[in-house]
Amino acid sequence: MNAVSTTAQLSAVPDFSEITVVVLGDVMLDQYVWGDVSRISPEAPVQVVRVDRKSYTLGGAGNVAANLAGLGCRTVCLGTRGDDEAGRILVETMGELPVNAILTGVPGRPTTIKTRVMSRGQQLLRLDEEQVGVLSEEVYDSLRAALADALAEAGALILSDYGKGVFNAFLAQEAVDMCRARGIPVLVDPKGADWTRYQGATCITPNTAEFLQVAQFNPDDEADLAARAATAINAFSLTHLMVTRGARGLSLFTRGGAPLHIPAEAREVFDVSGAGDTVIATLAAGLAAGLSAQEAAGLANAAAGVVVGKLGTQPIHRAELEESLLRREVGCGHKIRSRERAAQAASAWRKAGERVVFTNGCFDILHVGHISLLHQAAALGDRLVVGLNTDASVRRLKGESRPVLPEDERAALLAALECVDMVVHFDEDTPLELITAIEPDVLVKGGDYTVETVVGHELVLERGGRVEIVPLLNGKSTSGIIAKLKG
């Protein structure tokens, strides 16, 4: 039982824009209350949180839909909501995404909302407001009808079961049967020990704790896990079973095939909230796009490695997943991007609340003056993008004797700097087109410029950004180095 070979891993994210994935399940609202703790209450030995702000994200099946939308899929989300303020916020939050949300109102039943109290990046408390139990037959009829319509163009169906009431034995089984009749793969994020309602699904994706509710095994014994997985595949007429195992990565079991154990992506784990939603969304998108189960599982594992590094329930974005795949390259080659991929990455960074800084130059014979400029630029935001003149562009600006170093070597040297997050070539005489594509929050040039003479300053200022002129080190230049070498 070997881990997946690196040669079998994808090097690029497939195009998901032409596939439709349907999500049916328990849609929830995640509320974050952000504040600061500076004292203990005089009323009881508890922390006092001074609330600064509140934010909302989608939870449960809603987060699965958000992940699919982030990957670029056409997404349909079916579920329920209460006729209350939380339901209104849920619809409003869902409306900010390119998702076709069909949420059936349930009178007298509250919208499921999870409230997390946060301070200094730590979760202090979670409050759950919910009412679980079977829904009315009218609501189930509405969900059935919406599902039948949505499956007309679906490439995959996800059943996101959080045990809040959307699924009963009949609806889950009907959904599986509808998909099998149409040849549509159906993937299940399960809840509870009774999996009979998922009979015949293409793949069920429990975590270790969830699978232990169904089959007793030693989590440290992969042979025991494989044996129990094979039993479950036969018992529930599955094609695949994929167990997410936290720090151990994930294991894919296939009827009649050898187990595939994929190690977790090596990165800092900050918050595992919603990681399972990301895994099943990416797996479903991959299968709908025609990937093998093994390829889709590898892609899902990479996506999970991205979201566990985020705070709170946040979905994956295509550009982030592409960056994760690029990081598998040896050295710092993943930092050197095409203009299109650079624009996608910058957009994803901004959506994650990060400030994007841009500067540009020839950077021919990298020297201490360049290093000073780049470090000062990086300190002005969260991500530093460097626009690099191509060789042809440098020759037009500096003459036929320049550059001394070819563009690939100049890019490699810049990418090797820790303060540089991305390097992008541009062939024009000015970086205006590149700045237009990147849309930086901060534009930086050296002290021999003024704000008015910096190319692209109008674009950045119009978007509410700023232009920063940083001091240069006197007597430090590529021309000076060349003259000294000639002398």
Residue 247 placed within a domain:
yes
Residue 1 placed within a domain:
no
Give the pLDDT confidence score for residue 272 in this predicted structure: 66
pLDDT over threshold 60, residue 270: no
pLDDT over threshold 80, residue 342: yes
- From 161, 189, 277, 364, active-site residue: 277
Residue 159 placed within a domain:
yes
From 326, 360, 392, the end of a domain falls on 326
Q: 470 and 355 in one domain? A: yes
Q: Which residues in 146-300 belong to E strands, given as ranges? A: 156-160, 186-189, 203-204, 240-244, 250-254, 260-262
Give the pLDDT confidence score for residue 307 in this predicted structure: 85
pLDDT over threshold 80, residue 345: yes
Q: Please provide the DSSP assignment of 22-86 as one string.
A: EEEE-EEEEEEEEEEEEEE-SSSSSEEEEEEEEEEEEEEHHHHHHHHHHHT-EEEEEEEEESSHH
CATH number of the domain enclosing 86: 3.40.1190.20
Residue 122 placed within a domain:
yes
Enclosing domain of residue 379: 333-486
Rounded average pLDDT over 70-80: 96
From 278, 304, 326, the end of a domain falls on 326
Q: 340 and 300 in one domain? A: no
- Decide if 141 is catalytic: no
Distance CA 307, CA 71 (A): 13
Residue 381 placed within a domain:
yes
Distance CA 309, CA 291 (A): 26
pLDDT over threshold 50, residue 5: no
Q: 299 and 436 in one domain? A: no
From 275, 291, 326, the end of a domain falls on 326
What six digits make up the tokens of 375? 């470090």
Question: Sign (positive/negative) of CA torsion 361, 362, 367, 371?
Answer: positive
Q: 318 and 408 in one domain? A: no
Name residues whose C-beta falls within 8 Å of residue 457's C-beta, 6 or more positions apart in sequence: 443, 451, 467
Q: 296 and 177 in one domain? A: yes
pLDDT over threshold 50, residue 352: yes
Distance CA 397, CA 403 (A): 10
Q: 368 and 265 in one domain? A: no
Rounded average pLDDT over 73-82: 97
Structural domains of the chain, count: 2
Question: pLDDT confidence of 290, banded at 50, 70, 90?
Answer: very high
Q: 337 and 311 in one domain? A: no
Distance CA 467, CA 454 (A): 8
Rounded average pLDDT over 448-459: 95
CATH number of the domain enclosing 429: 3.40.50.620
Distance CA 366, CA 132 (A): 63
Q: 246 and 176 in one domain? A: yes
pLDDT over threshold 80, residue 329: no
pTM: 0.74
Of 34-38, 102-106, 108-112, 478-482, least confident by mean pLDDT is 478-482
